[in-house]
Amino acid sequence: MKVSKDLMPWEERPQGCTDVLWRYSKNPVIGRYQIPTSNSIFNSAVVPFEGGFAGVFRCDNKAVQMNIFAGFSKDGINWEINHEPIVFKAGNTEMIESDYKYDPRVTWIEDRYWITWCNGYHGPTIGIGYTFDFKEFYQCENAFLPFNRNGVLFPEKINGKYAMLSRPSDNGHTPFGDIYLSFSPDMKYWGEHRNVMKVTPFEDSAWQCTKIGAGSVPFLTDEGWLMFYHGVINTCNGFRYSMGAAILDKNDPTKVLYRTQPYLLAPAAPYELQGDVPNVVFPCAALQDGERVAVYYGAADTVVGMAFGYIKDIIEFTKKNSIV
Ligand code: BMA
């Protein structure tokens, strides 16, 4: 989401570094044991809120149960996370059960913050909720049938309808996955499901050849919607999750204009290579001030890291190295 220039969390590109995205030198910004009950805190989403920041954090507890927690920060880097999970009241439907909640995304649309997450309802699907103040939360109808993951809302209506990216999946560690876009007139009924992006052929861009999923909430640039997504390769040691960028058409975001053939960030730092699930970089949020971007990503399913870049450089790189 857009942030004023003076609030933007930022660290300049290190001397001698030529990467388009670079890691924050003090990563990870959130440690695995940051709240008393947590086993791990990762794949979490942040937004500007009341002159600072708020967020929804995935904290798995020491029984390794997945749930989402609200948190707050003055600078976007140092976070206080509530010790109790979010409790939802009924939103646009009766209260629906939720066996677990994980991988939240948050965006402001019109008058409130909307939250999407992977909701356990006879298997994973996409849960939707909203809040005005990060104190009271309301849960709405699930967007899709199980099984689905990585539901990411656009921050404004597209041609008069809410729009959400998602990735139909299976009930396990899905060995496939493409990104779809669905529309809703009311945040309750979803349809007009369209394919947006597929995995790439192994020989063209292997890091994204097994499955891909929307990451951060897309934001508008001069070239279209810029979105960070994750791409996965199945290696002899299991899945490896990296991050790429895609630019979608402003008026018809089912059209991918550009998409990175090389990744922008892949597991390489110690906290990305080691943890509960080694080799995972998983973007869930991006703050931007019109010129610069700060990406929040889960690292090795254990901690939260940040990476920075200039929007102009990312767009240039994505156009120049596009696989579309
Ligand atoms: C996915 C989800 C993510 C996780 C990823 C890598 O299926 O469970 O939360 O980061 O796997 O383990």
Q: How far is the CA of 51 from the centre of ligand 1 (A)?
A: 32
Give ligand 1 pocket residues (Cβ under 6 A): 43, 102-103, 173, 241, 277, 280, 282, 298, 301
- Pocket probe for ligand 1: among 102, 301, 302, the residue whose CB has the most ligand atoms within 8 Å is 301
Tens digits of per-residue pLDDT, 197-233?
A: 999 999 999 999 999 999 999 999 999 999 999 999 9
- Quick check: helix, strand or coil at residue 273? helix
Residue 12 Cα to chain centre, angstroms: 23
Token pair of 145 as six digits: 């049938």
E strand intervals along 176-253: 179-184, 191-197, 211-214, 219-221, 224-235, 238-248
**Which residue, judged by its Cα, is nearest atom 1 of ligand 1?**
173
Token pair of 117 as six digits: 């997450």
Average pLDDT along the chain = 98
pLDDT of residue 27: 98
User: Nearest 5 degrees, angle CA 291-CA 293-CA 299?
Assistant: 170
Q: How far is the CA of 298 from the centre of ligand 1 (A)?
A: 9
Asked if residues 106 and 285 have their Cβ atoms less than 8 Å apart, the reply is: yes
Asked if residues 242 and 267 have their Cβ atoms less than 8 Å apart, the reply is: yes
Tens digits of per-residue pLDDT, 77-128?
A: 999 999 999 999 999 999 998 999 999 999 999 999 999 999 999 999 999 9
Tens digits of per-residue pLDDT, 269-306?
A: 999 999 999 999 999 999 999 999 999 999 999 999 99
pLDDT average, residue stretch 141-150: 98
Query: Letter for the amino acid at 316?
Result: E
Per-residue pLDDT band at 254 (split at 50, 70, 90): very high
Per-residue pLDDT band at 250 (split at 50, 70, 90): very high
Q: How far is the CA of 101 from the centre of ligand 1 (A)?
A: 12
**Residue 77: left (phi > 0), alpha (psi -120 to 50), or beta?**
alpha
Closest ligand 1 atom to 301 CA: 10
Tens digits of per-residue pLDDT, 5-46?
A: 999 999 999 999 999 999 999 999 999 999 999 999 999 999
Q: How far is the CA of 52 from the centre of ligand 1 (A)?
A: 29
E strand intervals along 224-271: 224-235, 238-248, 256-259
pLDDT of residue 220: 98
Which helix (H) or strand (E) segment holds residue 318: the answer is: helix 311-320
**Could you tell me which of 272, 244, 248, 271 has the C-alpha nearest to residue 258?**
248
